[in-house]
Structure 1
Amino acid sequence: MAAAAHGNIDIFGLLLARTTNLHAEGRTNDGRDLLGMALDGGNPGIVETVLERLPPMQQWTTSTRRALGAALLGGDKEQIRLLLRKHSMPPTPEGRNVPFLAYSIAGSNSSLFRTLLACGADPNTVLPSRCDKDFLALLSSNSLRSYVEEDRNLTVVMLAAGLGQDDYLRALLDAGANRNRLTSRDRMSALDIAAETGHWRAAQILLGGGPPPDQLRLEISLALQRVALVKNGVPVYRTQCSTGRPGYSTKRGEFVITNKERYHRSTIYHVDMPYFMRLSCLDFGMHAGYVADHPASHGCIRLPEDAARKFFSEIPVGTVVTVQ
């Protein structure tokens, strides 16, 4: 340990040649370990040797966090990979519960995010049950913050989706992240969270695609009770519709068609809803039904049957629908 602390690679090498057990995990009476002393000594060769001899461990120590910080600062990807492989738990900042990978997404730290992911950070990293206050302060969406605080087993994929961090989301999926995992309490997927927080681009990514809205979209006017199919910026088809009556107002905003059912029956109102196209995983959508000359539904967008059939057959899942 003295050789490591003084950074004396020659003496350290001689001692290493005479022992079969480096006792890299051992500690001195004052609580210091060999890695910490090697870091204090400042000799990269000794630090690397100690790291290689470390046994697999679950939790990160002060010394392994120091080593990770130094490797990140110096851009030493091999050492970062080695440290990540040695630990079964993801690294967190000292005194924090939330992993570095989640902080990098919430804080838009692209350099840290891409370095960790390239070096083997788990793309399915789970947020802790109790997140740090400074991390929660980075979450701009109240609904996302509510899920993070109250639900369990949210992953960094869900975090990226809920923040609308599209590039981070793609990178996580490319690295093998599971887009279909569900939270424990509310059984929410990353797609549900993207839709709930209004990030239609993230929803399209999780759906596997969708047309750009400047090429294809639907526009619904609540005031006019009309729907327009818009292609390349030009309305090519219009139809009447009937939206939510007073007390059941149709939600406004930008949505994505997240699934379609030719034969759908409402579990709430026990009525058939042919050619059903659900909007953003929510409890409403577009379907064939009686179209009055005024708002008359329980929140869905009722369409004439020929229009519903046309939209159902021609408009793919992932298409953006604007309700205004």
Structure 2
Amino acid sequence: MAPILLSRPLGALSAGLCLALISCAAPPRIIDKTKPAQRAEFVMYEWHDDQGPGTVKIRINLSEQRATYTRGGRDIGWSYVATGKEGHGTPSGTYRITEKIVDKHSNRYGWIENEWGEITNGDATPGSKKEPGERYVPAPMPYWMRLTSYGIGMHAGVIPQPGETASHGCIRLPKELAPILFDAVSVGTSVSIVH
């Protein structure tokens, strides 16, 4: 079929010609609007620790929102992370894990929910205004690994969009990886945070 040259926008063509152009170009793609849209699945982490000699070291790249894990200089894994969003940036530098707590809750951030458990404010602080029947719920930070004296650490958390920031400054880890990493590190483990 010879190419058709258009002298006016496609929207101005008759419906018949539009249908002819579409049917010649490619078979129609049928979209089932009764089913929810499918999101691309991300591999959130890989872990292949040989548990051989050497200590674990962690390197967090703020630009990529990824962490790499080594043991004795050998690569043992990587993961997506979610670090501090604008206004709550995660500070770069070299740190050591100073505290490990399996079941910790934030004393700074959380949410407010009503009497039916529905969240009415998803980004609240202990001092946020509450309506009658509402309560403040501190954010859970399972598998907490403290890095600073002022509340920055690593813990299991939601990573809403891999590669993008999301936290109030902490380093959120994939929920399935956090307990594995928690067991592999100790107080004193080196963590470097770079741009």
**TM-score, with length taken from structure 2:** 0.55
Q: Secondary structure at the match of 1:309?
A: helix
Structural RMSD (CA): 1.3
* Corresponding position: 1:290 with 2:153: no
- Shift, 1:274, TM fit: 0.5
The counterpart of 1:245, out of the listed 39, 64, 85, is: 85
Counterpart for residue 304 of structure 1: 174
Which structure has greater strand proportion? 2
The counterpart of 2:101, out of the listed 238, 261, 272, is: 261
Larger-Rg structure: 1
Which residue identity lines up with residue 240 of structure 1 in the other structure?
A: Y
Counterpart for residue 157 of structure 1: none
Counterpart for residue 223 of structure 1: 63
Which residue identity lines up with residue 235 of structure 1 in the other structure?
A: D
Q: Which contiguous aligned blocks of 4+ residues in structure 1 show a shift greater than 6 angstroms?
A: none
Give CA deviations for 1:41-86 in whole Å, capped at 9, x if unaligned.
Answer: xxxxxxxxxxxxxxxxxxxxxxxxxxxxxxxxxxxxxxxxxxxxxx
Counterpart for residue 4 of structure 1: none
- Shift, 1:266, TM fit: 0.4
CA contact (8 A) 2:56 2:184 kept: no
Counterpart for residue 24 of structure 2: none
- Shift, 1:305, TM fit: 1.1
- Shift, 1:246, TM fit: 0.7
* Corresponding position: 1:234 with 2:74: yes
In the alignment of these two chains, the number of paired residues is 111
Counterpart for residue 185 of structure 2: 315
Which structure has greater helix proportion? 1
Whole-Å separation in 2 of the counterparts to 1:235 and 1:291: 23
Q: Secondary structure at the match of 2:104?
A: coil
Give CA deviations for 1:79-98 in whole Å, capped at 9, x if unaligned.
Answer: xxxxxxxxxxxxxxxxxxxx
Q: Secondary structure at the match of 1:245?
A: coil
Which residue identity lines up with residue 274 of structure 1 in the other structure?
A: P
Q: Which residues of structure 1 form unaligned runs of 5+?
A: 1-213
**TM-score, with length taken from structure 1:** 0.33
Counterpart for residue 178 of structure 1: none
